[in-house]
């Protein structure tokens, strides 16, 4: 079994070393959080170490009221950190071939039928999104286009997390019904 990493020096937002409480928190919950993250990363210990460190760094900046149930809160943060890492890893570099794009825009070059189909689908989706009510559009834009969590989208838009979820569900339903012409 891999050894548990040493805790990072706990610091606050200004870089000053924090109290002994954060070290106690790390000693008490660090091993269990490390085991949890190892299971989620399927045994990639280096990734698990990084996630544990990032989780504690984020938790140190949280208000004390969030630490009512520390292990559950730490697991939630670790899950979010892993999800963000997966999203970033899944993104592919975008290449831009201006001649090809110009030819496609002119309609003179469709060598790849799937590209034409994809462009049609994207156009239909953009049209569908433009017909959504503003709150639903904002929820879709922040959560699906920008990749924010529901909580982050809520903070950015001023809409409650519950309503963000509700608007996303309604938007998907509206687009689905429009596609099927129901």
| CA pair distance 57, 22, nearest whole angstrom | 10
More confident position, 165 or 175: 165
Boundary residue ending a domain (57, 90, 123): 90
Shared domain check, 120 and 79 = no
DSSP per residue, 128-146: HHHTS-HHHHHHHIIIIIS
81 shares its domain with 140: no
Regarding whether 125 and 80 lie in a shared domain, the answer is no
Euclidean distance between CA atoms 144 and 175, whole angstroms? 14
Q: Cβ(135)–Cβ(163) under 8 Å?
A: yes
> Do both 82 and 119 map to the same domain?
no
Statement to judge: residues 24 and 68 lie in one domain: yes
Residue 125 confidence (pLDDT) above 60? yes
Contact call for residues 159 and 142 (beta carbons, < 8 A):
no
Provide the pLDDT for residue 6: 56
In a domain, 4, yes or no: no
Backbone angle region of 170, left / alpha / beta, with phi > 0 → left and psi within -120 to 50 → alpha: alpha
Residue 169 clears pLDDT 50, i.e. is over it? yes
- Domain total of the chain: 2
By C-alpha distance, which of 15, 22, 33 is closest to 71? 33
pLDDT digits (tens, 9 = 90+) for 26-68: 888 888 888 888 887 777 777 788 888 888 888 777 666 666 6
What range defines the domain where residue 61 resides? 20-90
Report pLDDT for 120. Answer: 78
Residue 107 in domain: no
pTM score > 0.95 for this model? no
pLDDT band at 82 (very low <50, low <70, confident <90, very high): confident
Rounded-to-integer distance, Cα 136 and Cα 153, Å: 12
Q: What CATH number has the domain bearing residue 136? A: 1.10.10.10
Is 80 in the same domain as 118?
no
Same domain, 24 and 86: yes
Q: Do 131 and 76 fall within a single domain? A: no
């Amino acid at each position: 079994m891999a050894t548990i990493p040493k805790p990072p020096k706990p610091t606050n937002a200004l870089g000053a070393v924090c109290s002994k409480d954060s070290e106690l928190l790390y000693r008490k919950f660090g091993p269990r959080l490390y085991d949890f993250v190892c299971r989620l990363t399927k045994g990639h210990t280096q990734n698990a170490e990084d996630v544990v460190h990032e989780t504690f760094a984020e938790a140190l900046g949280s208000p004390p009221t969030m630490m009512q149930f520390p292990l559950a809160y730490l697991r939630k943060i670790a899950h979010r950190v892993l999800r963000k890492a997966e999203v970033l890893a899944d993104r592919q570099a975008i290449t831009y071939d201006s001649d090809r794009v110009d030819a496609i825009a002119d309609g003179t070059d469709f060598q790849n039928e799937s590209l034409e189909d994809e462009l049609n689908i994207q156009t239909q989706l953009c049209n569908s999104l433009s017909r959504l009510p503003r709150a639903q559009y904002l929820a879709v834009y922040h959560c699906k286009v920008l990749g924010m969590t529901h909580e982050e989208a809520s903070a950015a838009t001023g809409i409650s997390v519950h309503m963000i979820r509700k608007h996303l569900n309604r938007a998907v339903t509206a687009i689905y019904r429009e596609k099927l012409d129901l």
